[in-house]
Amino acid sequence: MSRGGSGGRTRVRTARGRSAQSTRWLERQLNDPYVRKAKAEGYRSRAAYKLLELDERFGFLRGQKKIIDLGIAPGGWSQVVKRRTPAAAVVGIDLLPVDPIDGVTILQMDFMDDAAPDQLTEALGGAADLVLSDMAANTVGHQQTDHLRTMALVEAGLAFAIDVLRPGGAYVAKVFAGGADADLVAEMKRNFTTVKHAKPPASRKDSSEWYVIAQGFKGRAGAAEQVTDDADA
């Protein structure tokens, strides 16, 4: 490993057994200011700053008491939640094991498992104020396939949010380039008063990820009335 270039940029020599791609990834990590900041401030991943930046803009964490974190691993988002709203009850779920976080209940299971929604709701102890989702499907290298697989998770997260959120609640989810498709956005607008897309500064410029922020949940009865009104229009 060596330092060179402007600003003392760290360069990584290609080591035996390490591919050029792995070397580029390691070099990017070592030179990423968000990675360094996360390490200094005790966050488990740079993704914590994506949530912090989104919350600075949209204010969806303020005053929330019951929060669900879908795709919690490695835990950076729940760390942010507990620092911003220490009294909030937080339940997270992920296929991967996650080291304990004070004040957070963690379920290691597949969110797509039929039993997951009931277990999340039971662990939270009732309706949620906020559902966060940083879930993304494992990529296969085919852009359209990867997009469709991740959007299926966004749709599943939305269906769960509609079922578990209290009126006034919010749903924040990772999507990819182009954002949520038209049908999904329409479904969100039927159920929430505002739906916005945003790419926080902490999201790498070369990344296709965006986030959709749906706020002001109308409640299931309100959503049904909206559907009726649309049909009569």
Q: pLDDT tens digits, residue range 52-111?
A: 999 999 999 999 999 999 999 999 999 999 999 999 999 999 999 999 999 999 999 999
Residue 7: its pLDDT value, please?
A: 47
pLDDT at 202: 92
Residue numbers in the known binding site for S-adenosyl-L-methionine are 75, 77, 94, 110, 134
Which residues are the active-site residues? 174
What pLDDT, on the 0 to 100 scale, is given for residue 225? Answer: 45
**Domain annotation covers residue 115:** yes
Domain housing 8: 2-31
Domain of 54, CATH number, reads: 3.40.50.150
Q: Is residue 36 part of a domain?
A: no
Whether 225 is in a domain gets the answer yes
Within this chain, do residues 66 and 168 fall inside the same structural domain, yes or no?
yes
Residue 26 shares a structural domain with residue 76: no
Query: Are 213 and 101 members of one domain?
Result: yes
As a whole number, mean pLDDT of residues 17-28 equals 52
Asked whether the beta carbons of 110 and 116 are under 8 A apart, the reply is: yes
Number of domains in the chain: 2
Q: Is residue 39 part of a domain?
A: no
Does one domain contain both 213 and 98? yes
Q: Is 70 found in the same domain as 9?
A: no
164 in a structural domain: yes
pLDDT score, position 181: 81
* Binding region: 75, 77, 94, 110, 134
pLDDT tier at 12, thresholds 50, 70, 90: very low
User: Where residue 15 falls among pLDDT bands split at 50, 70, 90?
Assistant: low
Is the same domain home to 128 and 217? Answer: yes
Residue 41 lies in a domain: no
b/e map of 6-22 (b: 16 or more CB within 10 Å)? Answer: eeeeeebeeeeeeeeee
Q: Could you tell me if 21 and 105 lie in one domain?
A: no
